[in-house]
Chains A and B, each alone.
Chain A
Amino acid sequence: MSDPKMKFLVVDDFSTMRRIIRNLLKELGYTNVDEAEDGLVALQKLEAGGFDFVVTDWNMPNMDGLTLLQNIRKSAALKHLPVLMVTAEAKKENIIAAAQAGASGYIVKPFTAVTMAEKLNKIFEKMGK
């Protein structure tokens, strides 16, 4: 299990979904969570530093989740960050594109608390190796 103090950034344009993910993370023991409503805001917050994990939606105004992911992977300071995509985009193209851009995990909405826990643990396992 990973450090419960690790800091998450939850990126989604719907505040309901941000609250749901924040609550799920809390349920799993992670209380250090910040939020951003689109990729642009997220990138600014990430560049300011201090984050250990990104959970992002795909379809958002200003900057979408895929572009955010690509920017994270391009940045020397941020490229190591695990990025879990949580999105309603369920086409194979989407999943392939996200994987090719370097996503650490992919969850299709609607999802369950169990799925969230599984994917997070899988990412932590990979990080631990």
Chain B
Amino acid sequence: MTRKQKADESGDSDDLQALFDSIAAGASMSEPETPPAAAEDDPPAGGDDESLQALFDEVSSAFQAAQAAGEVPAGAEPAAAEGGGEVFNRIGQMARQVHDTLRALGLDSEALTDAVQGIPDARQRLSYIAHMTEQAASRVLNATDVAKPLQEKMQSDAQSLEERWNRLFGNELSVDEFKALAEETRSFLGQVRTTSEATNAQLLEIMMAQDFQDLTGQVIKKVVDLAQTLESELLQLLIETMPEDKRPARKEGLLNGPVIDAGRSDVVNTQEQVDDLLDSLGF
């Protein structure tokens, strides 16, 4: 199958092979722990990792810029040294957070490793689906191409015999003609048997061709899972790396229920405030 080739191209196929060998050989259970650690220490030199590194650098520097712009101008001379220290700490914490996030998301997370490796894999899976459905369609069409002429011949032979039998019952046939008809009818019955067997084989073929539904169904489920994983992880990355002040105000509907945070400035806490608001609006 096509997806196996892809697995062989991935960076840690040696680790996987070693893992397989060790399990097949009945080696100790501690072996399976090794590959993830190896993957962390020695990331494959694929373009994905470079772009992850670039993403890290970019996000990290954006944070530092945002923090510097936001924090440094605040405060007078004496506070500057203190503030600088705080900025430094916060930048450090932020960088740590981004780093941890990226790690959590990918560098040593099976989920992201799987997801990143999953993209070319998903492409292959989709072409596998295209291939399987096409194959199933042609199997069915081929089967009908075989069966249809068989059925048509049987139909026309039966029709011609029927007409002659009708003539016989109308006393229109000579004795010799009747003998020929009886002989032909006998051989026709034999043909019906063999033709039915052949048609039956084609029906079986049509039935077997439907097995693509199970196989493509499994593959489609994997691709959908991958898309969901990628979406949620990218969303998580976005949320966790977005500077506080850049976060768009959450869009709230009109059904927020009771106010939980009384300190908010956009809500009213007393009936008096309600009346004041209505007054100010001219009601």
Contacts of A111 in B (CB 8 A): 211
Count B-side interface residues using an 8 Å CB cutoff.
15
A113 and B204: CB pair below 8 A? Answer: yes
Provide 9 A-B residue pairs closer than 8 Å at the C-beta atoms, listed in order of the A residue. A17-B213, A19-B210, A20-B210, A92-B24, A93-B20, A96-B24, A110-B208, A111-B211, A113-B208
Cβ 8 A contact of A16, one of B1, B24, B204, B213? B213
Contacts of A20 in B (CB 8 A): 207-208, 210-211
Cβ 8 A contact of B218, one of A27, A59, A96, A113? A59
The DSSP consensus for interface residues of chain B is helix
**B215 interface residue per 8 A CB criterion:** yes
**B212 interface residue per 8 A CB criterion:** yes
**B214 interface residue per 8 A CB criterion:** yes
**A71 interface residue per 8 A CB criterion:** no
B204 and A27: CB pair below 8 A? Answer: yes
Given contacts A12-B214, A110-B212, contact A23 B207 (CB under 8 A): yes
Contacts of B224 in A (CB 8 A): none
Docked pose: A108 CA to B132 CA in angstroms = 15
Given contacts A27-B204, A90-B1, contact A16 B20 (CB under 8 A): no
Interface size class of A (residues with CB under 8 A): 20 to 34
**A5 interface residue per 8 A CB criterion:** no
Contacts of A90 in B (CB 8 A): 1
Docked pose: A9 CA to B24 CA in angstroms = 31
The DSSP consensus for interface residues of chain A is helix
Closest Cβ of chain A: how far from B281's Cβ, in Å? Answer: 56
Closest Cβ of chain A: how far from B129's Cβ, in Å? Answer: 13
**A123 interface residue per 8 A CB criterion:** no
A: which residues have CB within 8 A of B? 12, 14, 16-17, 19-20, 23-24, 27, 59, 88, 90, 92-93, 96, 109-113
B211 and A109: CB pair below 8 A? Answer: yes
Closest Cβ of chain B: how far from A41's Cβ, in Å? Answer: 17
Supply 16 further A-B pairs (C-beta < 8 A) apart from A23-B207, A90-B1, A110-B212: A12-B214, A14-B217, A16-B211, A16-B213, A17-B213, A19-B207, A20-B207, A20-B208, A20-B211, A24-B208, A27-B204, A92-B24, A93-B20, A109-B214, A109-B215, A112-B208
Docked pose: A88 CA to B3 CA in angstroms = 13
Docked pose: A16 CA to B213 CA in angstroms = 7
B: which residues have CB within 8 A of A? 1, 20, 23-24, 204, 207-208, 210-215, 217-218
Contacts of B204 in A (CB 8 A): 23, 27, 113
Docked pose: A47 CA to B201 CA in angstroms = 36
Docked pose: A20 CA to B20 CA in angstroms = 33
A88 and B24: CB pair below 8 A? Answer: no
Closest Cβ of chain A: how far from B109's Cβ, in Å? Answer: 23
Cβ 8 A contact of A17, one of B1, B24, B214? B214
Docked pose: A27 CA to B204 CA in angstroms = 9
User: Which residue on chain B has the smallest CB distance to residue A96?
Assistant: B24
User: Which residue on chain B has the smallest CB distance to residue A110?
Assistant: B211
Closest Cβ of chain A: how far from B176's Cβ, in Å? Answer: 44
Closest Cβ of chain A: how far from B30's Cβ, in Å? Answer: 18
Docked pose: A12 CA to B210 CA in angstroms = 14
